[in-house]
Each structure stands twice: as structure tokens, then as C-alpha cells.
Amino acid sequence: MLNDTTTKNPERVLLVGLYGHDVHKAIVAEHIEELKRLTDTAGGNTVLEVLQNRDQPDVATYIGKGKLNELARLVSENSIDLVVFDDELTPTQVRNIQNATKAKVIDRSGLILDIFALRAKTAAAKTQVELAQLQYLLPRLTRAWTHLSRQKGGIGTKGPGETQIETDRQMIGRRISLLKEKLSKLEKQRITQRKGRDGMTRLALVGYTNAGKSTLLNALTQTKVLAENRLFATLDSTVRRHQVGNQEILISDTVGFIRKLPHHLIDSFKSTLDEIRESDVLLHLVDASSPQADDYIEVVNETLRELGIETKPVVLVFNKVDLIDDPSRIKALQTDYPDAVWISAEQRIGLNRLEEEILNVILKDFVDKYYEISVKDYKAVSFIFDNAEIHDQKFVDDKICLHFRIHKKDLGVLNRMLKYRQNGVKDSHEISG
């Protein structure tokens, strides 16, 4: 919850972006528009936007001395409280810009971290956010904001912000160590919890922030996970059971991706992202109504590559089709993405078709097998009954004959338990259907 001063009198914010030979002005303008939405989510009021034409950032001031003087004038004339840069700044650049403008200065990473501090609700999320903030702010320690923080707080000072500014590096280092230890303990608890889900197909919802993942989870599972039309409404992963055809699956709602996502956040939110890493199928949700849909898809794909999980089966889903007024827009996307599924989670349009596609993808990884197993291998037999769909069973002498359908990954576990070829387990060829 935002503090009273931010709610009643939101900070006046100036946004800054850099374009040049490598980055077209129109693209930077789109990034600034997103930065404006991020600022709104953090509780700020964007008053001005400044775009600077410069091929390379200035080492000392990012935008150059002349532009910095102009920026200082705009800050003074418009009573700007906070200047937000779309790209990450070095500690030296932050210090020089603050000295020139006499205003708080943060970059996109700092703004996203601030939003995460605002959104964190559970102990795990709060711990992850604080760790990310401390790691981000450690090289940027300065007392330049102290008087501003004491007066009214605001964007960039949520969570442990004020403490960080007033604490020396040694104390922050100890705090980082404690937080990492705490997260390690929480991770062990989550591993224990996840063991209880073994044998079930796991599906993870991924997508650019505000694509509608939480709304889709609610629509599919008839639950009431928080779903807002704001960036980063979901930080903690939420897991729900759902029946698709004759398959019971687990669906995980995860934190949304965004361009220039701070690496500190990726590292700190490892536990949340593990829901994606350990999933069997990814449901990649895209806001079809956004003009930047193609860019959003690429950002998500790039993030998945960074996480090393780009090879998982993916169902591409275009959401919010009810918000598209131009039929040619849908036709163009359908041409570029012919295998995608089209839905409106809010209006419950296309959900049956989506579930059919999910089931088709899941069943591709299942095989029918017929095993004759010694009754002495009771652990293997128990594993089959726990993790497979039994079609038929009968006892012949000292063997149990089982016809079952099982996921390929579980079949691998079963075969290792039986030491498959060495133990002479009798297996028919794979049975179709």
C-alpha cells in the first residue's frame, strides 16, 4: 500500500530515454510509454518525457553535459521530484545527475524493484525483493536522498530503502548473507511441497507482464487469484489443480516478464522461476490487443532462453481478442502464428479450444506400456499405480501384468527403478492409443 503522501500528492516524475543510430526513436518512445505505466503502478505522476538523440551514453552524465543542464532547468521549472531513466545507470551517472538536478534519480531497474517492494505480500516475496534491492543499491550507496526520504518517502524508498541509504556497506553485506540463508531455508520447504505433486503434469503460465495470466488461471480453475489490469499484479507463484479431459494437472501462475528485467530480480526470484523450470508445458500468454505483441513474444522467448528452458513444449495463446477492433490485425497475427490459440480469459471465449490444445500437448508425452513385473518389485509396482493410468492388471504366477499409460519422464524413473534391461522385465512393444 502506498503511503499517504504518495497517494494524496503523487510524486511529479520526469522520464528520460536515449535513441540513436542503433535504436530508433519510435521504439524508444514505446519504451517510455511502458516506463510511464510502470511509474503509474509505483504511484507516481509523469509530468514530462525527454528523449535525447545520442548514439552512445555519456560515461559521466548518460545524456551529455548540455542536455543535463537542460534537464536541471526542467526539473526546477516543473517542480520535479523524481527523474527516471529508461536504461540502467552507473553509480557515477546517478551521482552526477543528482548533483545537477537536486532531484532523486533512478533507472528502470530501480523503478521495477520499487514496484516489486510495493507488490510483495508473502514472506518469501518480501525476502526476495529486499535481497534484490540490497544487491542493486549496494554499489549506489549515497546520502544524497536522505533529506528527501525523511520528508516524504516516495518512489525508490519503499521496502528497505531508507535503511539502505543510511547503512554502511558492511551492514548491508551481512544483511544480504542473512537473506540468502533465509531464502535457502524457504527453498528447502518448497522442494518438500513440490514432492507432493510428483506424478502430475505441470503447466506454467508465462508471458509479458499484464498479459492476463492470473485472469486465465481464475477462468480455468474457477478460483479467485488476484487479477488486476496493472503491471506486476502477481509476484508469488500460485499453483492450482485443474482437470483437462481425463488428466489432472497443476497450473502455476508466475511473475510476468518485462524488457530489461533486472538480473538481480531473476536471481532473487529463483524459487518463483523454478515453477517454470520444473514445468512440463509452458502456456505462453500474449496480449493480442497490444501493438507491441510481437516484441512481447520476443522478450519472453529471450528470457526463457536466459533461463535455459526454451526447449519445453509451448502453447502460444493470444489473449484479449475481444479488445481488437481491426479484423486485419487478427488476420496478420494468425498468418504469423498459425498454431496459436485465440481466447479472451475475461469473457471466457475460446477456453474449450485451449483445453483441447493443452490436452493434445500433454498426451504427446504419454505412452502406453505393458509390463510383467515380479511381485518382489513392490516399489516399482507402487510407483506405477501412483503415477500411471492403469488400463488392466492381472497376476500370473509370481508376476503382476500391467497395461498402463505413463508420462515419458515417469517411465524413465520406472525403468531406472527396475534396472530395466538387467532385471529382465518383460515389456511388450509400445501400444498405440
37 CB-contact burial (10 Å; exposed 0-12 / middle 13-18 / buried 19+): middle
3-class DSSP assignment, residue 419 = coil
Instruction: List, in sequence order, every residue forming a beta bridge with 390; answer none if it has no partner.
Output: 404
Closest to 112 (Cα-Cα) out of 258, 9, 237: 258
For the four alpha carbons of 197, 201, 207 and 212, in that order, the dihedral sign comes to negative
Over residues 369-385, the pLDDT tens digits come to: 999 998 888 889 999 98
Q: At what angle do helices 123-137 and 270-277 cross, to 10 degrees?
A: 110
Residue 147: pLDDT above 60? Answer: no
3-class DSSP assignment, residue 58 = strand
Residue 187: pLDDT above 70? Answer: yes
Q: Can you give the pLDDT at residue 332?
A: 93
For 346-380, give one letter per residue: b (16+ CB within 10 A) or e.
beebbbeebbebbbebbbebbbbbbbbbbeebeeb
Q: Range with the lowest mean pLDDT among 128-132, 142-146, 404-408?
A: 142-146
Residue 311 CA: distances (Å) to CA of 277, 282, 317, 318: 11, 10, 17, 20
Maximum C-alpha span of the chain: 92
State how far the Cα of 216 lies from the Cα of 402, in Å rounded to an integer: 38
Over residues 64-73, the pLDDT tens digits come to: 999 999 999 9
Chain position carrying cell 551481512? 174
Over residues 355-413, the pLDDT tens digits come to: 999 999 988 888 899 999 988 888 899 999 888 889 999 999 889 999 998 888 888 88
Residue 198: pLDDT above 60? Answer: no
State how far the Cα of 204 lies from the Cα of 282, in Å rounded to an integer: 5
Percentages (nearest 5) of helix, strand, coil residues in the chain: 45, 20, 30
For 319, residues 6+ apart whose C-beta sits below 8 A from its C-beta are: 211, 212, 215, 216, 285, 286, 287, 288, 343, 344, 345
Parts of the chain belonging to CATH 3.40.50.300: 197-363
Q: At what angle do helices 108-119 and 25-42 cross, to 10 degrees?
A: 30
109 CB-contact burial (10 Å; exposed 0-12 / middle 13-18 / buried 19+): buried
Closest to 307 (Cα-Cα) out of 279, 334, 341: 279
Chain centroid to CA 214: 12
State how far the Cα of 289 lies from the Cα of 31, in Å rounded to an integer: 17
User: Which phi and psi (to 5°) does residue 53 adopt?
Assistant: -90, 105
Percent of the chain with pLDDT over 70: 81
CATH topology of domain 4-166: Rossmann fold (3.40.50)
Q: How confident is the model at residue 196 (pLDDT cuts 50, 70, 90)?
A: low
Higher-pLDDT residue of 373, 151: 373
Instruction: List, in sequence order, every residue forming a beta bridge with 18; answer none if it has no partner.
Output: 52
Parts of the chain belonging to CATH 3.30.70: 366-427
Are 342 and 357 in contact by the 8 Å Cβ rule? The answer is no
CATH class of the region 197-363? alpha beta
Tell me the CA end-to-end span of the chain in Å, nearest whole number.
54
Instruction: List, in sequence order, every residue forming a beta bridge with 105; answer none if it has no partner.
Output: 83
Q: Can you give the pLDDT at residue 170?
A: 76
Strands (E), 89-140: 104-107
Chain centroid to CA 330: 26
Q: Can you give the pLDDT at residue 342?
A: 96
Question: What residue type is 208 in one-letter code?
Answer: Y
User: Which phi and psi (to 5°) does residue 368 adopt?
Assistant: -95, 130
Residue 420: pLDDT above 80? Answer: no
CATH number for region 366-427: 3.30.70
For the four alpha carbons of 204, 205, 207 and 210, in that order, the dihedral sign comes to negative
Closest to 63 (Cα-Cα) out of 26, 109, 37, 100: 100
For 426, residues 6+ apart whose C-beta sits below 8 A from its C-beta are: 371, 372, 399
Parts of the chain belonging to CATH 3.40.50.11060: 4-166
189 CB-contact burial (10 Å; exposed 0-12 / middle 13-18 / buried 19+): exposed
C-alpha cell at 8: 494524496
Chain centroid to CA 346: 20
Q: What is the mean pLDDT of the chain?
A: 82
